[in-house]
Amino acid sequence: MEVFRSLGSVRSYIKKCRLSGESIGFVPTMGCLHQGHLSLVEKSNLQDNRTIASIFINPLQFVKGEDFERYPRTESEDLERLSHSGVDMVFLPEESMIYPAGKVLTIAEGKISKILCGFHRPGHFDGVLQVVLKLLNLVQCDRIYLGQKDYQQWLLIKLMVEELFLETEVIPCPIIRESDGLAMSSRNRYLSESQRCLAAQFPKLLKKFHDYSGSTSTASAEEFIFKDLQKKGFEVDYVRILNSRDLSDSEDFSIPGNLRILGAVRLGKTRLIDNMAWGEQ
């Protein structure tokens, strides 16, 4: 595994790969790696000749009052994990390299990015799209692998790639969960012991949207689950049942195969997100 910290070294590596006709898979991360990240690497290893990972804690996707300063920096542990994962190259850029002074452009989407997490974290997805576009232009990958825990993020990146005619395939990868069902997340380490026990109820309550399909509207189901989460002790940002293809509203359960429930809750200062498609167990 090679580790690069400069744009020039990455460009030279990419050029060598291209000259030898090798396909490139890319796994962008913010570090603090867990098995969910490594599952993306595993999928890339199966499909591509070379797998590249990046570790960059992107300041532009943290909104005012969020945890940028306390976000865990675990570079040595992350590199150790990646060294056993089959990754061929890791890119570790400095902030000044990604955002040189006076050269910050803005990329934004005006619809999907404004709802759900975008409503509660205004500007967050602008920062996500900006850094991902920069990284895609740099690594010139054939495929980018993204976990679907951040379903809204995955959909926005897919839309950006299509709209800007980028020659990259956006590969959705399933959510990796703990044994009790909680979606793996770097932020889970912030939870106290009691909060961690309660957090396991989050995906269980989201699954209840299947139970309401024959007796009520999606709006009523959202309300029931919202209240159930509050009763358990969660502070709820949102619970929505939407069309999986574009996150548009769906007023009823008439086409359940296209539905997805998405939720965001808080336990203390820790924000958790999760989602699941119709029929997912």
Residues tagged active-site: 37
Q: Phi then psi for 63, rounded to 5 degrees?
A: -90, 170
The alpha-carbon radius of gyration of the chain (Å, integer) is: 19
Find all residues with CB under 8 Å of 20, minimum gap 6, and list them. Answer: none
What angle is formed at CA 61 by the lines to CA 175 and CA 192, rounded to 5 degrees? Answer: 60
SS3 at position 110: coil
Instruction: Decide if 53 contacts 27 (C-beta within 8 A).
Output: yes
Find all residues with CB under 8 Å of 212, minimum gap 6, and list them. Answer: 220, 221, 224, 253
CB count within 10 Å of CB 82 equals 24
For residue 233, CA distances in Å to 3, 189, 204 come to: 44, 19, 14
For residue 193, CA distances in Å to 130, 197, 244, 271 come to: 36, 6, 34, 16
Nearest in space to 259 (alpha carbons), one of 273, 241, 274: 241
- H-helix segments, the chain: 7-19, 35-47, 75-83, 95-98, 117-120, 124-139, 151-163, 193-199, 201-206, 218-232
